[in-house]
Amino acid sequence: MKRNYLTILILLITAQSLIAQVTFKTAVSKTELGLNERLRIEFSIDKQGADDFTPPDFKNFKVLAGPSQSSSFSSINGRTSYKLTYTYIIQPLSKGTFTIPSASITYNDEVIRSNTVRVTVSDAIEIPEDPDDPRYVAQQNIHLVAEVSNMSPYVGESISVIYKLYVNTNFVNVQNTREVSTPSFSGFWNQNIDVKKWVARNGTYGGKPHRYVIVRKTVLIPHKSGSLEIEPLEMEITAGIPIGRRDFFGNMLMNDVSLTMTSGKKTIRVQDLPLKDKPFDFEGAVGDFKFNVTPSKTDLGANESAQIKVELSGQGNLKLIKLPGIETPNGLEVYEPEHKENIKTTLNGLSGSVYDQYAVVPQARGKFKIPGVSFSYFNPKEEKYHTVITDPIVLNSLQGATFIDETVSSNKVPVLSKEGDIRFIHLNTTFVSKLKDKDFFGSNLFYILMILPLLSIPLGIFIGKKKLERDSDIVGNKRRKADKLARKYLSQARKQLGKKEAFYIALEKALHNYLKAKLQVETSEISKEKIAEILNKRKVDESIIEEFNTVLDNCDFARYTPTTDVMMKQEYEKAKEVLARIDKEL
């Protein structure tokens, strides 16, 4: 008996020691760095089968890249070693001493946490003016610029901001770009103009020839006066610096560097609109406009209505203008207007038209005068106010119970009595019984409802047994869960089209979970050789296996190389096609 207890104790100690041997640690490239430097942080575990990695909260840092996942396996003299690593590139947001919390990962249904790391951030480090330093060369030949069309506009006047990336291609070659911080426009109404494709053009910067591309275009309309700041656009740029040597094939060798460029803050001094000659009915319209009030018709028959359109067209702050309303005389019923806009956004501002359309219905026969409508606006080019007063509109109602001439009178419309206003009240009534001839008790429906609960008992037992069988199928449940995740991530990849890193991460997760669902392969065991071996055993065609591995590789490489929306769409369609072909083979 004592020997049995001793055996159990030894087994428990052995199991605990095996768990204790799992190593999950955090490592950083440096513990002291400048505010403008980057930090490489790695989370690694030395056992296969770990999953559900959760990174720490990088609240004092900006994540520039990651997570990138890598694994290594080696076997030397019968001793094997394995390492799974998650890597991030981060940059501090402020100076100070910070503790990066631990990450977590699940191994054998237990959550394991890594160690914490303390990092000290000091002042930004100046880059020495060394012509041989690749980072210095890149900073001297790459420039991110914000060009503002007007630095001192009036309140309500449209201006544009064009962000350009200048590159001196004689000394540097830009390989990849990523927007890490979008500009903010506090105090402005703003709208972006889509830049569908980057087109390289010739230009000059600092008096030297450069090539440039337009990165972003934005239209701004200030809605208050004073000094308003436009926050900078920040981009992470990977560039290649020629080192003066060529490879075996004659291609120039490059030294790759990464740096963060900023367009810098811009201060816009917005002028208030002049008080001199300002009309009393001015409501903030700024631009060059035409104003009209037009009726659809002026002669109305019985039960007819007219449409009165109040329209403003031209160029200016059209989306911020409230159109004046119309005043209708007594005897005209007016309905809430229908508002419509036909506006396009260009670098010159907003142009097009807006209008309110009123439906008016005469309540009696006669003539009705709608007074002219006044509209005032400020033209910033002329620096003066304009007031437009439209002509009055006279509507002639040709039919009706009473004649009213509202072109000369403003009396209220009298109440008209009509023959059908008061209905005749019947004094004698005939009651009809609502009781049915046949009682519900003893009817066919009564017996059906009595038997139905008894019939549902076998059905409930059958459904319960099926559910019990499904719940006890552990392997099947895991497969269904992974299959559901694959569909989820494939759907998520479609939603992320256009966002390079998020798209490829979602697509890669979809492929991984598909393998877990169909082949029972863990994420940590995924490799080209393992995939090919299992699919070959399942008699999947070699060309399909090669296509699957190609898609998986593209997900990893494309996150760090230039790509386009069209290429991402092609990768998504290719992934769908490959999964469908493998399903058919299996």
What's the pLDDT tens digit per position in 226-249?
A: 999 888 888 888 888 776 666 656
List, as one string, the DSSP characters of 231-289.
PPPEEEEEEEEEEEEE-TTSPEEEEEEEEEEE---EEEEEBPPP-TT--TT--S-BEEE
Asked, colleague to colleague, whether 20-122 and 287-405 share their fold, the answer is yes
Helix (H) or strand (E) run with residue 478 in it = helix 474-495
pLDDT digits (tens, 9 = 90+) for 558-572: 655 556 666 777 777
Residue 479: per-residue pLDDT: 57
CATH 3.30.67 correct for 134-270: no
Buried b (16+ CB within 10 A) or exposed e, 61-94: bbebbbbebebeeeeeeeeeebebebbbbbbbee
Encode pLDDT of 412-446 as tens digits: 444 444 444 445 555 666 666 555 555 666 677 77
* Residue position matching structure tokens 């041997």: 21
CATH T-level fold of 474-585: Four Helix Bundle (Hemerythrin (Met), subunit A) (1.20.120)
Give 228's strand partners: 268
Does 218 or 60 have the greater pLDDT score?
218
Residues 541, 543, 549, 553, Cα dihedral to 10°: -170
Strand order in 39-45's β-sheet? 24-28, 39-45, 79-92, 61-76
Q: Assess if CATH 2.60.40.740 describes domain 20-122.
A: yes
Pairwise pLDDT comparison (237 vs 543), residue with the higher score: 237
Q: Would you mind telling me the total number of residues written for the chain in this entry?
A: 586
Domain boundaries, the chain: 20-122, 134-270, 287-405, 474-585
Most confidently predicted of 213-222, 358-367, 391-400, 527-536: 213-222
pLDDT of res. 353: 93
Per-range mean pLDDT, top range of 121-125, 236-240, 367-371: 367-371
In CATH, the number for domain 287-405 is 2.60.40
Burial of 311 from C-beta contacts in 10 A (0-12 / 13-18 / 19+): middle
Residue 507 has pLDDT above 80, yes or no: no
Which CA distances in Å does 381 have to 154, 190, 275? 10, 21, 17
* Structure tokens that stand for 215 in this block: 């990165």
Instruction: Please tell me the least confidently modeled range out of 44-48, 190-194, 245-249, 394-398.
Output: 245-249
What does the alpha-carbon distance between residue 563 and residue 153 come to, in Å, rounded to a whole number? 38
Q: CA–CA separation, 97 vs 132, rounded Å?
A: 33
